[in-house]
Chain A
Amino acid sequence: MVIGLNHYLILAAALFLTGAAGVLARRNTLIMLMGVEVMLCSVNIVFAAYSRALGDMSGHVFVIMNFAIAAAEAAIGLAILVAIYRIKRSVNADELNSLKE
């Protein structure tokens, strides 16, 4: 059996759904951020698969850009979490409701 573009697309879609379900279901903001990382990783796989299917290496450049975006996102997100923890003493998303009241 030969592996083609659609195999990679289905794998990436399943991975994206896993990350999205994690972000939606979990209340621990650390694990929600990890779900965002999983979603970014699935997009990278789509970039690399299309790059391979079209024989054009431009997709690799955008995967590298996405690595940098993911690193920046993790750094900023975790810094915000540290700042929130200093105020609230919690990383539970259910307790971060001060704008609601």
Chain B
Amino acid sequence: MEAVLFYLFGALLLGGAIAAMTSRSAVAAAVWLIFAFVNAAGIYALLSAPVLAILQILIYAGAIMVLFLFVVMMLQGPTLKSELKSIGDRKWWLPVGAILVALLNWMRGVNLEGFINDAPAGFGEIKGVAELLLNKYMITFEMISLVLLVAIIGAVALASNKKGMPW
């Protein structure tokens, strides 16, 4: 059962991501990416991390992709024509192909066994995550708020000036 769900979610996640990266219009790419991220939430659920699954849907598939769709709506409807011609003669596939070959080579010798131990009781529940977040990793938690504050200020400063850059 777990294997079936893993391969289902994994295939849909990868397929959605590939469809997003190869689709011609940015709107279609964004919608494919929402589909892929919902399936990533399924992967988190299989890893006994329900909090992460919910946050994945709320933040990634919800907030971030809606932001993307808003900017796509503002900036650009049609496809870039120059892009479709120029994809073929680029050298982008050299590093990707090298990493892919290395990955396939590594996969030959890898052992595909299950997890050694079962998840401990209460693993992945929101109580444990909250206790870690507010005790052991409190500084990290505060840093997240600082990063978000700086991001808000930066985004407003960059995007609000009608003449272009703020300087």
Give the contacts of B100-119 with A (CB-CB under 8 A): 100, 103, 107, 110-117, 119
A83 smallest CB distance to B (angstroms): 5
Size of the B side of the interface (Cβ < 8 Å), in residues, is: 88
Summed over the interface, the residue pairs from A and B with CB atoms below 8 Å come to a total of: 238
Q: A61-B129, A79-B159 are in contact. Are A37 and B154 (CB under 8 A)?
A: no
Chain A residues, CB < 8 A from B111: 6
SS class, residues of chain B in contact with chain A: helix
Give the contacts of A62-80 with B (CB-CB under 8 A): 62-65, 67-76, 78-80
Q: How far is the CA of A79 from the CA of B18 in the complex (A)?
A: 25
Chain A residues, CB < 8 A from B93: 21, 25
- Partner of B6 from the list A3, A28, A85 (CB cut-off 8 Å) is A3
**B17 & A38 in contact (Cβ 8 Å cutoff):** yes
Q: A6-B112, A65-B144 are in contact. Are A31 and B29 (CB under 8 A)?
A: yes
Chain B residues, CB < 8 A from A31: 20-21, 26, 29
**A60 & B49 in contact (Cβ 8 Å cutoff):** yes
**A64 & B112 in contact (Cβ 8 Å cutoff):** no
Chain A residues, CB < 8 A from B151: 71-73, 75-76
A14 in contact (CB, < 8 A): yes
Chain B residues, CB < 8 A from A81: 71, 75
- Partner of A3 from the list B2, B140, B155 (CB cut-off 8 Å) is B2
Chain B residues, CB < 8 A from A18: 14, 17-18, 21
**Residues of chain B having any CB pair with chain A under 8 Å:** 2-3, 6, 10, 13-14, 17-18, 20-21, 26, 29-30, 33, 36-37, 40, 43-44, 46-49, 51-52, 55-56, 59-60, 63-64, 67-68, 71-72, 74-76, 80, 82-83, 86-87, 90, 92-93, 95-96, 99-100, 103, 107, 110-117, 119-120, 123-124, 128-129, 132-133, 136-137, 140, 143-144, 147-148, 150-152, 154-156, 158-159, 161-165
**Residues of chain A having any CB pair with chain B under 8 Å:** 1-8, 10-11, 13-15, 17-22, 24-28, 30-31, 33-35, 37-38, 41, 44-45, 48-49, 51-53, 55, 57-58, 60-65, 67-76, 78-83, 85-87, 91-92, 94
